[in-house]
Amino acid sequence: MIKECKECKEKFESTNTKGSEQLYCSKTCRTKSANKRFQENLIKKHNHEKSGVIGNVQSSEQFFKGNSQDTTDENFQRKSNYNFSNDVITCIRETYDARNEVLFYKLKCESLEKEIQELKNDIFELESELENIDSDENDESGMIGGLVSSFKQDPQTTISFASELISNFIKPKNVKNG
């Protein structure tokens, strides 16, 4: 069934077959509409709480239309209080947005600090591993260490010894049956 989105007015095909009727084309439009309704309710609630100061105003259209004959100070007072309350709501919204941004950057900073600490740990481990490798190369104990030190002193003799050793490993051995 083809419908029109209540938020963006685009045509969409309803995919919801259970529960409430699908009114929006996407979750994004549904969220935008919910945020607008929330802000409107917040403004209505704020105006209702301020009704003692502002006067008994039913809606913003009625308030701004006012009575064209009524140019008293009381009407001016109502309009200035209403603008003040909108300024307060705007200020609250900006503060909320600023706090969200601050929290985002705090989380990002914590994440980067954690990543830096992990990289420092990796560097420390690699440096200690490198030191161990350097100390192992300097350590001339064991068979390979002995070959390396003898190669440094007399390379020809060491190569002939190594080739003889390898050829002995490769030669087939005579096995007697019997």
The DSSP secondary-structure symbol of 11 reads: E
| Residue 61 pLDDT | 45
Measured between alpha carbons, how far is 173 from 171 in angstroms, rounded to an integer?
Answer: 6
| Residue 69 pLDDT | 47
| Residue 177 pLDDT | 57
Tell me the backbone φ, ψ of residue 108, rounded to 5 degrees.
-65, -40
| Residue 97 pLDDT | 92
What tokens does 70 get?
């009524």
How high is the mean pLDDT in each 10-residue block of the chain (178 residues)? 90 84 90 91 79 47 46 51 71 92 94 94 90 67 74 86 83 64
**Domain map of the chain by residue range?**
1-49, 52-163
| Residue 50 pLDDT | 64
Whose CA is closest to 136, among 128, 97, 39, 23?
128
Chain centroid to CA 79: 43
| Residue 149 pLDDT | 79
Q: Find out whether 19 and 46 touch, Cβ atoms under 8 Å.
A: no
| Residue 60 pLDDT | 47
Q: pTM of this prediction?
A: 0.30
Whose CA is closest to 96, among 49, 45, 42?
42
Residue that the structure tokens 């929290």 belong to: 103
Measured between alpha carbons, how far is 16 from 119 in angstroms, rounded to an integer?
Answer: 49
